[in-house]
Every structure is written in C-alpha cells, then in structure tokens.
Amino acid sequence: MQAPLSGVTVVALEQAVAAPFATRQLADLGARVIKVERPGGGDFARDYDGRVKGLSAYFVWVNRGKESVVLDLKTPADRSLLDRLIDRADVFVQNLGPGAAERLGLGCDVLRARDPRLITCDLSGYGTAGPYRDEKAYDLLVQCETGLVSLTGSADSMARPGISVADIAGGMYAFSGILTALYERERTGTGTALSVALFDALAEWMGHPYFAEAYGGPPLARSGARHPSISPYGPYRCGDGTRVFLSVQNDREWVALCERVLLRPALVRDPRFADNPLRHAHDGELTAVLEECFAAHTADGVLALLGEAGIAHARLRTVAEFAAHPQLAARDRWRDFASPAGPLRGLLPPVVVAGREAAMGAVPALGEHTEAIRAEFTRPRAPEGDPAGGTHAVRTRQEGLGGPRA
C-alpha cells in the first residue's frame, strides 16, 4: 500500500534535534526527505556521542529514512543546486541560527514569492521578534526559561528531565503544522509559511503549572517522582526493598485502595484523607500508612493486589528493562533498519494505521547521496506530464499531494 506522503519532497537545512525529529516523522510517512549538511562534519549531532556502534544515538534516532547531501552554500554551484532542490520541493524546513536563512536568501517570503505552493517551516529558539530572538536556544536552556526545570527534581535539588523535551515539543508541533499545511494546500492550492519556536512549544506544555499558580494558588513544589497535586500518586516501598508506583485519581479508587488493598476501610473516613486536596496536604502521613501495609508484601505481591482492586500501577523500569518490555514484544513493535554501522533495531512510530506499516528507512552516511542528487537535479526538468522524464516533480503531479507545481 502506498505511503500517505508518497510523492512529497522535503528539503531540510537542519541540525541538532528539533527539526530533524520533525522531518523524520515525515520520512516515516513516506515523504522523500533530502537533508542538506555542511562540509567537514555535517549535522553537528553526528558527533554528540558514539554510543550506537560508533554512531551518535541522537543522530540515529532522528535521521532515519533521509538522503544526505553535502553542500557548501558559500560556493555558487552548490548554492544554485540548493535552489533547484527547493524549486522541486513541496516543503522546506530550516532551523539555522537567528537570521541565517534570510542572509542566505532562504527566508520564507523570498521562497514563497518564487513558488506560492511551497510550504516553509522555520524552527527557532525564541521566535523572530522580542529581546530573546538572537539568543542561542539549546534544549536545557529553553527548559530553564519556561520554568520547567524549576518544577523538576526533588525538594532539595532541581533536575533536567531525562529527555530533550523542548526539542521534542518543537519538532512535533512543526510536524503537525506541516501536515496541516499539506492538507490545506490540497484544498486551496497554496502553500503556507509556518514558524515554530521551541520556547512557545514548551510554554504550551507548561499550561497546568501556569493555571495552577496564576489565579491565586500557591506555586507548585518540586516533588521528585511524586505527583505535585494528586495523592497517593508515586513510588511506595515494599517489603523486599523495591518500590512500586500507583495512582489514585478519584474517591472511588481511594475507597477501593483502602478496602481491597490496604484492608483498612476506616481510612476512607479519616479526616486527613477525605478528599484529594486533604490527601495531598497529608501526603507524608499517607505514604507512611501505605508503606506500613506494603511491608508485608513483595513488589510483585503489591502489584497483584493493586491489579485485582483496579488501582493503576506500574513498575519502575530501567532503560534496559523498558527495551525488554513484554508489551513491546507482544505487539511486535521492534523493526530492523539499516545504518552505516550495520543493522540497528528501533521501534515503529506510535501511530498505527490498519493495513499499513511505516517506512523504516536507513540512517544516511554523511554525503551518501550527494552525487546521485547532483546528477538528478542538474538534469533538465522533463516536460510537464511526460512520464518518461522520471523527475520527482512529474511523479508528484501524478500522485496528488505534492503537486501540481507552480
């Protein structure tokens, strides 16, 4: 079955995580993604580490299924080739430093004046205006500026979340924006200029802390692995020294926990724990009660009791234990894909479409496709409607989503 974005060409002048994460989602849906890299090293994320058979774990994660072309945009020949790539593209994505795209003549206004059907997507740290527009915006720095780090960690110490949440947020909003623009173009025939700031993306995710405090509530406190406003919700020690996680979301579940797991029905009427705000206010006392009851059981025993009572629960797994998770194996979520270091194993994308499986293309070596792309995009474009021409532009016209081109 044809992939949903078959026939769509994306040219990406990208680096690091946010923009590559967005374009990898497009590649997973069948788009042709041409990644333009700089001479002498390419995307600097290639050098973040060497944990994946000598390859960067970040780069492997966000660059599957792309073609890599190395261009020196300071030379007229390579700058001209980039123009030809964009002229045949449906989407152009860039996350260069502030103002760099405009200095290169690659601003959205210039590109869309040349081709009104082109969709452009600019990712930046803080947007194109305001006092922070020229600031460097690496993931952790954006987390700090949005207040996320102030909420993460224990009462005594702040902590960075374990993944690059600002980059992921920005990349996913760019991805959904591009899909929306492709859908809109099908109806209007006109492309769109999109922009996504990592600061804005993560600011959206800070909605709950903002509303919880902005209208008179006390600031949320760092709560480690516990929930900042719901109790009981977090890790609890069992008799074998390990911890289980559980969550009680409403009073019905609280009754079930007291009566069927703790075997202490009188707790339901304890004035300290009568509703969630009270339970949260007395979280330390409630934790002592739960751990006293759990002391007679192993973690497996507690999890079994929680399951029988319908109380949400989880094991605290390491990354290695996550990789061996029985749910992933039972649902056949792992696939092999190619890389310059040989076959690698990764997870299928989260959206499951009946009767169709996402493309799991290879991770490209630096400049692996440069010569092939030079040859393809220096040939004269075939006349419109000539199927023998074989150019992507002609295929796009025939296949729908990408064309016709202006």
Which amino acids are annotated catalytic? 227
Torsion (CA) 250, 252, 255, 261 in degrees, nearest 10: -80
At 398, give phi and psi (nearest 5°): -75, -25
**Contact partners, residue 292, CB within 8 Å, separation at least 6:** none
Cα separation of 336 and 24, whole Å?
Answer: 16
Cα separation of 316 and 295, whole Å?
Answer: 18
- What is the DSSP pairing of strand 344-347 with strand 334-337? antiparallel
Using CA atoms, how far residue 365 sits from 60, 71, 295, 298, in Å, is 10, 14, 54, 49
Dig out the tokens for 166 from the structure.
Answer: 């600002």
Cα separation of 30 and 353, whole Å?
Answer: 13
Angle at Cα 174 formed by Cα 173 and Cα 178, nearest 5°? 115
